[in-house]
Structure 1
Amino acid sequence: MIPYARQSIDEDDIRAVADVLRSDWLTTGPVVPAFEEAVARFAGAAHGVAVSSGTAALHAMCHVLGVGPGDEVLVPAITFAATANAVLYCGAAPVFVDVDPDTLLMDPADLARKATPRAKAAIAVDYAGQPCDYDALAAVCRPRGITLLADACHALGGADKGRPVGTLAAMTALSFHPVKHIATGEGGMALTGDAETAKRLTRFRSHGIDADARERERLGSWHYAMVELGCNYRLSDINCALGLSQLAKLPAFLARRREIAAFYDAAFAAVPGVAPLAVRPGVSHAYHLYVVRLAADVDRGAVFNALRAAGVGTNVHYIPVHLHPYYRERLGTGPGLCPAAEAAYERILSLPMFPGLTDAQAAQVVDALAEAVKSRHG
């Protein structure tokens, strides 16, 4: 079975992790800040704060912004549930914004329609690895006093008009889950250009305590003070060692993802009933996912099953968050709230996309999908 995604681990990665296992520090040691600085530098941000997941990064960003009860945070309907869940963790209410039907990125016009005086923030999601139109989103947010945040968990290495992901919003969340651009096992990071914000993010990830174990060791002091209620969202030196090793290979990973996407684009231009998502002008796409839309008369369920039977792993990203049972029951959301997202969900498929995918495997994916679509019209 060709998986839809997988990590790429080599002997350098294994040695990097083994070196930490032989060291004095397994967590909150010197590799954590080294990884933070390297990722921030790659992304063009002044500061990076490593945390235990992309979800933790989103929660931390909402927390330091002061999101709380009575606030609303605007999120796109097409995203992983974590984007909206982070808002609930802070006691605020997510408001679901529809997406552009061609890109599945947050629709600035619907953002403007749904922004109320209670809106404190908007979280733009760089779906599949394509940066949102942050200029258009900022034009909605800025005059309303809404802080624009970036969920770039799909998009490390992407850019818009030459500006790298990590510099496009007030704070940016990254993920280092194994299917993402670089892997730390589990892990994430919050990027910011502001030193005080970075300090607060760092404090929040460690129970709201003002000094971690390594800092106390450096100062020769036992004393610490918990100054706010935080979480245990620390990322270990073990994870960060793997991340540092992976980061060195990120340019090659990105180049291969784009090469595969270009092959798919060219191949599917000749396959009726299959259409890749649109790419915005001026965007450098990071291609965490490669998503296609099937024609309305194609039975997606049958195609999904046919691909699996042909040895091609595929997936659907995502069920619109407002259609999940938890959100329906808690917030009273349901069909009709975000029509473009709901229509897109019925037709999308994610195809295999990872640096280790061979040319022969990519061709197998194209042939299998072409055959499945040809023979399985609804």
Structure 2
Amino acid sequence: MINVFQPSLGEEELAAVAEVFDSNWLGHGPRTRDFEAAFAGHIGVPPDNVVFISSATDGLFLATELLGCGPQDDVVLPSISFVGAANAVAAAGARPVFCDVDPHTLNPSVEDVERSLTPRTKAVLPLHYGGYPGAIDEIALLCRERGITLIEDAACAVTSAIDGRACGTFGDLAVWSFDAMKILVTGDGGMLYARDPDLARRVRALAYHGLDQFSGRSRSAKVSHRWWELNVRDFGHRMIGNDLTAAIGGVQLRRLPEFQRRRRAAVEAYDSLLAGIPGVRLPPRLPAGHTTSYYFYWVQLPPAVRDRVAADLLSRGVYTTFRYPPLHKVPAYRAGAELPGAEQAAQSTLLLPVHQSLDDADVRTVATEFRDAVERAATTAHAKHR
């Protein structure tokens, strides 16, 4: 089976894990701090402003808590987004307000966001779909003008940028995902960035039970003559990363340029091999100055053809999918919105395999199988209408 997502792990990651084992300290420690500092350098922010946490979803739950979101608040987010984002808003008692997206880019425009603002809007929470930056610079300006907090869901955008500025640094808070299906993986895990240093310090405390300092290792004894005493100021959680997963993340971060080159090569090959297929629309071109992580490669077809092609490819060992089903259609959120762009995208979009482990032969196989599947689906559809 050729998978849509697949990590790239090897001897370097094993060696890093072995070093952690040899240190006899698996929890939050020096390797966690090293990974935070390295990631901060990668996105161009101070090390103290990023925190390695257990998942990007936990980071979004933490972000809504930090902002004090509650029943009196609305949070605007695109309907084409991960369910964890909407859950983080709803669990805080706030109302998720879903905005539409462009049916081709699957990202919201600044106009889509602005139309969805209400007098109760406390935050805007956009996703960079498939790693494409979208209109994040314009959305950030809108939020600053309106005094609204911007939370970036940069889960898919670990190497995405506009004019060299990393996605995730346009807003007030941001999260990245390092789960097993992402580009940079730590098994589970994520990074949270807070622009305000004071807020970043509060993030660090809330991510570990609300404690001002970590305990459990001898370095804590330097802080107080009674280092075992509790100093809880907030009711926190346990959302911290650890040295075992941070060691893997550190290696993956160093390999990120290599991963990016391979993903770009696969995407460029798809663009060439899939060009000109009747009824098939390829991903949008990037605007000038935009760079992407190439996390998704999506094609768009008529809905009935899309579903037949997906089933056909699966039977031939090529796994495809669609992410993310529109959230305004999820009964739990009781949205009741009409968002034609999101609905059109959800009915027509299909993600093809793209990851750094795909070799040239895999890419050609996917492209050939896709072309053939589209032709078979079109022939079947034509026969039914004769």
| Deviations, residues 6-33 of structure 1 (Å, cap 9, x unaligned) | 1110111011112112213211111111
1:376 is aligned to 377
Give the distance between the partners of 1:166 and 1:323, measured in 2 at CA.
Answer: 27
Q: What pairs up with 1:120-135 in 2 under 5 angstroms?
A: 120-135=122-137
| Deviations, residues 279-329 of structure 1 (Å, cap 9, x unaligned) | 341210111111111135x522211110011111111111111212322xx
1:246 is aligned to 252
Verify the 8 A CA contact 1:26 1:237 in the aligned structure 2. yes
Verify the 8 A CA contact 1:171 1:192 in the aligned structure 2. yes
Verify the 8 A CA contact 1:104 1:127 in the aligned structure 2. yes
Verify the 8 A CA contact 1:166 1:192 in the aligned structure 2. no
2:223 is aligned to 219
Verify the 8 A CA contact 1:216 1:223 in the aligned structure 2. no
2:20 is aligned to 20
Choose from 216, 236, 242 the match for 2:242: 236
Shift of 1:156: 0.4
Verify the 8 A CA contact 2:153 2:168 in the aligned structure 1. no
Verify the 8 A CA contact 2:98 2:335 in the aligned structure 1. no
- Give, as a single letter, the amino acid of the residue that structure 2 aligns with 1:223: E
Choose from 296, 307, 312 the match for 1:306: 312
Give secondary structure in 2 for the equivalent of 1:206.
Answer: coil
Verify the 8 A CA contact 2:140 2:170 in the aligned structure 1. no
Verify the 8 A CA contact 1:268 1:275 in the aligned structure 2. no
Verify the 8 A CA contact 1:98 1:340 in the aligned structure 2. yes
Shift of 1:192: 2.7
Verify the 8 A CA contact 2:109 2:134 in the aligned structure 1. no
1:63 is aligned to 65
Shift of 1:243: 0.5
- Give, as a single letter, the amino acid of the residue that structure 1 aligns with 2:243: D
- Give, as a single letter, the amino acid of the residue that structure 2 aligns with 1:83: A
Give secondary structure in 2 for the equivalent of 1:75.
Answer: strand
Choose from 281, 293, 306 the match for 2:300: 293
Verify: 1:149 aligned to 2:151, yes or no: yes
Structure 2 CA distance for partners of 1:217 and 1:339, relative to 1, 3 Å: farther
Q: What pairs up with 1:249-260 in 2 under 5 angstroms?
A: 249-260=255-266
Shift of 1:140: 2.7
Give the distance between the partners of 2:169 and 2:229, measured in 1 at CA.
Answer: 36
Shift of 1:218: 4.0
2:360 is aligned to 359
Give secondary structure in 2 for the equivalent of 1:313.
Answer: coil
Verify the 8 A CA contact 1:289 1:351 in the aligned structure 2. yes
Verify the 8 A CA contact 1:80 1:318 in the aligned structure 2. yes
Q: Which sections of structure 2, spanning at least 5 residues, go unmatched?
A: 382-386
1:178 is aligned to 180
Q: Which sections of structure 1, spanning at least 5 residues, go unmatched?
A: none
Give the distance between the partners of 2:9 and 2:368, measured in 1 at CA.
Answer: 28
Give secondary structure in 2 for the equivalent of 1:56.
Answer: helix
Choose from 130, 136, 139 the match for 1:137: 139
Verify the 8 A CA contact 1:45 1:192 in the aligned structure 2. no
| Deviations, residues 228-282 of structure 1 (Å, cap 9, x unaligned) | 1221111111111110111110011011111111111122222222212213412
| Deviations, residues 352-375 of structure 1 (Å, cap 9, x unaligned) | 111010111001111111111111
Verify: 1:321 aligned to 2:327, yes or no: yes
Verify the 8 A CA contact 2:300 2:306 in the aligned structure 1. no
Verify the 8 A CA contact 2:97 2:335 in the aligned structure 1. no
Structure 1 residues 214-223 or 236-245, which shifts more?
A: 214-223
Shift of 1:114: 1.3
Structure 2 CA distance for partners of 1:217 and 1:299, relative to 1, 3 Å: farther
Structure 1 residues 67-76 or 267-276, which shifts more?
A: 267-276
- Give, as a single letter, the amino acid of the residue that structure 2 aligns with 1:187: G
- Give, as a single letter, the amino acid of the residue that structure 2 aligns with 1:240: A
Shift of 1:85: 1.1
Give secondary structure in 2 for the equivalent of 1:112.
Answer: helix
| Deviations, residues 49-77 of structure 1 (Å, cap 9, x unaligned) | 01100101112222222322311110100
Verify: 1:81 aligned to 2:83, yes or no: yes
Structure 2 CA distance for partners of 1:217 and 1:301, relative to 1, 3 Å: farther
Shift of 1:217: 4.0
- Give, as a single letter, the amino acid of the residue that structure 1 aligns with 2:296: L
Shift of 1:177: 0.7
Structure 2 CA distance for partners of 1:218 and 1:127, relative to 1, 3 Å: farther
Verify the 8 A CA contact 1:103 1:279 in the aligned structure 2. no
- Give, as a single letter, the amino acid of the residue that structure 2 aligns with 1:144: R
Choose from 262, 266, 272 the match for 1:266: 272
Shift of 1:137: 1.0
| Deviations, residues 195-220 of structure 1 (Å, cap 9, x unaligned) | 21210111111121211124624425
Give the distance between the partners of 2:245 and 2:274, measured in 1 at CA.
Answer: 38
Structure 2 CA distance for partners of 1:225 and 1:356, relative to 1, 3 Å: same
Give the distance between the partners of 2:250 and 2:101, measured in 1 at CA.
Answer: 34
Choose from 52, 55, 60 the match for 2:54: 52
Give aligned pairs, total: 372
Give the distance between the partners of 1:89 and 1:139, measured in 2 at CA.
Answer: 28
1:193 is aligned to 195
Verify: 1:41 aligned to 2:41, yes or no: yes
Give secondary structure in 2 for the equivalent of 1:350.
Answer: strand
TM-score normalized by the length of structure 2: 0.93
